[in-house]
Structure 1
């Protein structure tokens, strides 16, 4: 049974006693850190080391090691490199993201035993009395017991306007005090805080919807199912071949099996994605998940929060509309803003627009509050100036200028500045002279309009989902070029999941959206076949960021939002978004092209492994020979092709696109091997001659595919093809002993020439046959 918590009611001026604090700590009622965390270094290492891919390769490596054929262990270098790249990248991301924190304050002022003390956040206990003032962040949920203040809850609820809080009101952890001063009693600590309750729902393991990753996993999974039984049977078959010993049987079997595993493709993918991450780091973009670049490049819907994402959280003065044209607007506003005790967004915007030049002498100041809705300053020999909401300052007198105010209310926040010769009192003076209107609005990030226009041109649908009121959200949408007519809805009118689903498919601008609704909007879009990216910065965005195919956080936002996102814009620069998309397109399109080279080997190796279960002959390759063909026809070319510029839109499915070139090439190589086996059995070729023919023909067919992939030729691709052919010739002729190849005699040269002509013709015929079949059975390939 859960122990009942006894609440204290400390005096606001005395706070808790040492004994009460001791009891709270004993009961565990301390504000321990419970925010969503990044993985530990051990978790990162374990996740990348203990993979099916690594186990398969290590098992094959162990078999080679035990029979002493050490030179055939070279393939393990690829496995080690791939694992290191993944580990290093994840640890790097963890180190950067751990430096950022949702609760930016390090210490807070509490009252204990009647004395003020500065303590760490994780030393706060339930019922502590905390003193907070303008500019400070609320570090734990608390109730005001004295004073009042205005708070900015943008990171928590999405509300952009300051909210007035008085005695008895709750302050939520993660919000900021923008004006005023108060004493508050801690209401929740640790896991009971609002920020934890929201963010704990994001602590599930997210399944990435990466087409590339799913395709690679599909290939690995298929191979893993067949590789063990196939390997055992093939080993047995190789062992019982006359004159074959244990070492040859193991080496031949491993050669067949490592050819089936596309370890080079895994390494290439990791390497190219790592290169992309390094490139994006130049634009201050932190990539926390390798495959997320692809997801943003594939996204057809981009969801955005408003506050802190499209806007930068600040206000700007758009214009001043004179009512009395005989006043010095600059002098009045510069002095009013300079001497104001407020530090809210409105005063900051006025200060920025009207820097102080000639100082006036201040006699009295009334600071702004949400209760008053105005602030006022009396200057010596200048009278009093009052700034605030027109309807509050003027009351019934507003009718004289109401038509003027109404002209601007739709698009701006309208403030009125009035003058009086009377002294300031608690009540607004009765005789006020309206001087001018000040038009303010949320400040759009300077790069936001161009960035959103880029996504629209690319066919990406934009959806704004905000916790702010619908009028404010629609105005922002209008300013950034998003159609608002019949396109906006207040989410408070959507009472159930069904009505939300209907709205999601109809509208693109949502106001007053709760955190759970944000998540459900993303979920509904994904259920309807969309790839969804989400940009957010607040705790209220965490669930949606986690649900999205690609979550993008703003660095100046909450820690929770950064920790669950795949991408973090470190300098909060929206301008980096098109660069991420361009990098994703270059990476995925080029990996797709390079993957063709790797999957050719996987395909022909699998077919040959099955074929040699029924052929009583040694497998035609050794592991080190496959290294030669792989390096010159796959490894080096794939990497060069993968880092070329490529900004084409990603189209189709990964495996469907790749298979069109894989199957004709792979079957050409299989036919080559069958013909070589027939020739070898007829003219009694030696084992070395047989493998030499197999290596040369496999290399040549690989170059046929590489020639096609290099089309259209440019300077780099031409050099690539010529140099790879040259390296291959050097390997076959100059390094034949290393690769266990025979001398190419005149007789063998004639055979090779004949087989090359046959292979060329077979490749052309099989390519035509594939496209004919694909056209006839289009549904299978889509």
Structure 2
């Protein structure tokens, strides 16, 4: 009978996908075990959409009904429709009257029965997709299954615009695929090569693309995606090709994955900006000292003093902060934009202190101390700006470092090469401290305006090219 023949096929198959596992479990539950010895096995092919096994009594097929029956599928469409309408996946089990099955079906096919699969939607699926919708992340569902079935499952999962679906077998050119990206959410009967083309089409449209998958047919697309996520329950080859593997195969962890990625990138960006300030300052001040022939005003201990409390310790603590803000722009550009005003302010302030010191005949030791304290003030201004938006944790980080700097400056002066200051030196320190705040604020505004102007010019350029 049909169940016995199907069991023979299932237990003879070399496929180890979820479909075959489900069929084996069903056959075992009703205590029917296959015992026929296969003569020839053609594993399921994502390109052909079916697999076949040849026994002594003939060749049997299992796969997508429309691909096996081709033009004759219309006779059975009404039988399949009720299942696809409620989101069930339907496969056709049939007998093939030919023997050359590896390239295409050329002989008569005798349908034996349909096999319907139901994929229960996880309880947290809708919540997960709603999160991505709230983050303005577009979701495209690409599957090798019947597009109507996939659409119904996507609707049940709460995916926005999931009723807009298309059969990818109609998309026979790159241009059609690119146009379909704007009009459809669900893509059915997609081949592995088409999945890759879909990823590339989205990237050409300016999107950052993440691809999730669990099968060998997803590997091509995952390799080209900006971020690839595999399920541990899927194929090993897919897991090897992915950048991230969900060990419990639960897609509900994706928001946590996004949060962690944002925390790492945003905090590294913030810490990198702090460290780059010192590099910009050191480089430019070295050039100025060589050009204007003055002694570099700071001792290594003094630079360490400033760096410890305005860069090193706060950079470490801020790197541990939770940060769910969306990653925006280019990493290097963002780091440079945040660091440039602070670095330039330090250079201008220290150079002005050196000039003033020579005018008022202040000793080199005092100039170094004044420069160190003014740089500390600028450092905390930079730290406050980079830490925005401020909360109680960030206020605490800043306060702890201010207290640490004051404590070290008062009790460990010799260690950090700090000297006593005369009244004129203290007056200069106060004046340059206030002046540095104004310079930093205006440089920050200037850099922000230049960035806005650049983005507007770039946007106009892109529109003119289109």
TM-score normalised by L of structure 2: 0.72
Deviation (angstroms), 1:650: 3.0
The separation in 2 between residues aligned to 1:628 and 1:182, in whole angstroms, is 80
CA distance in 2, matches of 1:489, 1:414: 15
1:699 matched to 2:373? The reply is no
Q: Retained in 1: the 8 A contact 2:229–2:246?
A: yes
For residue 437 of structure 2, what is the aligned residue in structure 1?
760
Establish whether residue 586 from structure 1 lines up as the match of residue 263 from structure 2: yes
> SS of the residue aligned with 1:529?
coil
Aligned-residue offset at 1:487: 2.5
Please state how far the C-alpha of 1:739 moved relative to its aligned partner. 2.7
Q: 2:34 aligns with which of 154, 167, 180?
A: 180
**Does 1:672 pair with 2:338?**
no
Asked if 1:727 is matched to 2:404, the reply is yes
Q: Which of 594, 614, 628 is equivalent to 2:291?
A: 614
1:410 aligned to which of 67, 71, 85? 85
Q: Do 2:84 and 2:148's aligned partners in 1 also have CA atoms closer than 8 Å?
A: no
Partners of 1:680 and 1:740 lie apart in 2 by 18
1:491-527 deviations in Å (ceiling 9; x for gaps): x333343433333443322222222221221122112
Q: More relative contact order in 1 or in 2 (CA 8 Å, sep 6+)?
A: 1
Quote how far apart the aligned CAs of 1:599 are: 2.6
Contact 1:537 1:558 in 2 (8 A): yes
Give the superposition deviation at 1:484.
4.0
Q: Given that residues 125 and 158 in structure 2 are in contact (C-alpha distance below 8 angstroms), is that contact kept between their aligned partners in structure 1?
A: no
User: SS at 1:737's partner residue?
Assistant: coil
Query: 2 CA distance for matches of 1:414 and 1:573?
Result: 21
Q: Deviations over 1:609-636 (max 9, x none)?
A: 3323312122223444322211211122
- Closer, same or farther in 2 for the Cα pair 1:731/1:576, shift >3 Å? same
The Cα of 1:652 is off from its aligned counterpart by 3.5
- C-alpha distance in structure 2 between counterparts of 1:530 and 1:670, whole Å: 39
Does the C-alpha gap of structure 1 residues 488 and 480 become closer, same or farther in structure 2, counting only changes over 3 Å?
A: farther
1:409 Cα shift?
A: 5.8
Q: How does 1:100-139 map to 2 (within 5 A)?
A: none
Partner in structure 2 of residue 513 of structure 1: 190
Contact residue 222 and residue 242 of structure 2 kept, 8 A: yes
- List alignment gaps of at least 5 residues for structure 1: 1-133, 136-143, 164-177, 199-368, 374-401, 416-437
| Residue 283 of structure 2 corresponds to residue 600 of structure 1 | no
Q: What is residue 99 of structure 1 aligned with on the other side? A: none
Distance 1:494 1:776 in 2: 40
- 1:12-161 pair list within 5 angstroms: 149-150=12-13, 152=15, 154=17
Residue in structure 2 matched with residue 489 of structure 1 by the alignment: 167
Gaps of at least 5 residues in structure 2 are: 1-5, 25-31, 48-57, 63-76, 91-114, 460-466
Q: Are the aligned partners of 1:588 and 1:650 in contact in 2 as well (CA < 8 Å)?
A: yes
Corresponding residue number in structure 1 for 2:125: 448
- Which one of 645, 656, 663 corresponds to residue 322 of structure 2? 645
> For the pair shown, which has the larger CA radius of gyration, 1 or 2?
1
Residue pair 1:474, 1:488 contacting (<8 A) in 2 also: no
The two structures have a TM-score, normalised by structure 1, of 0.45
Q: Distance in 2 between matches of 1:513 and 1:405?
A: 20
Deviation, 1:736, is 2.9
Counterparts of 1:711 and 1:448, CA distance in 2: 34
Give the conservation status (yes or no) of the 8 Å contact 2:151–2:164. no
Residues 734-749 of structure 1: pairs in structure 2 closer than 5 A: 734-749=411-426
Is 1:546 equivalent to 2:409 in the alignment? no
Contact kept? 1:151, 1:162, Cα under 8 Å: no
How many angstroms apart in 1 are the aligned matches of 2:246 and 2:424? 64
> For residues 355-504 of structure 1, what are the structure 2 equivalents within 5 Å?
410-411=85-86, 441-482=118-159, 483-490=161-168, 492-504=169-181
- Flag the structure with higher helix content: 2
Alignment size in residue pairs: 400
In structure 1, the residue corresponding to 2:190 is in which secondary structure?
A: coil
Measured after TM superposition, the shift of residue 464 of structure 1 is 1.3
Q: What is the CA deviation profile of residues 700-739 of structure 1, one whole-angstrom value per residue up to 9, with x for unaligned ones?
A: 1111222334555543333322221222223333323333
Aligned residue number for residue 202 of structure 1: none
Cα distance per residue 1:585-612 (max 9 Å; x no partner): 3333333334332232232223223323
3-state DSSP of counterpart to 1:442: coil
Kept in 1, the 8 Å contact 2:281–2:343? The answer is yes
Q: Deviations over 1:274-322 (max 9, x none)?
A: xxxxxxxxxxxxxxxxxxxxxxxxxxxxxxxxxxxxxxxxxxxxxxxxx
Offset of 1:655 from its aligned partner? Answer: 4.6
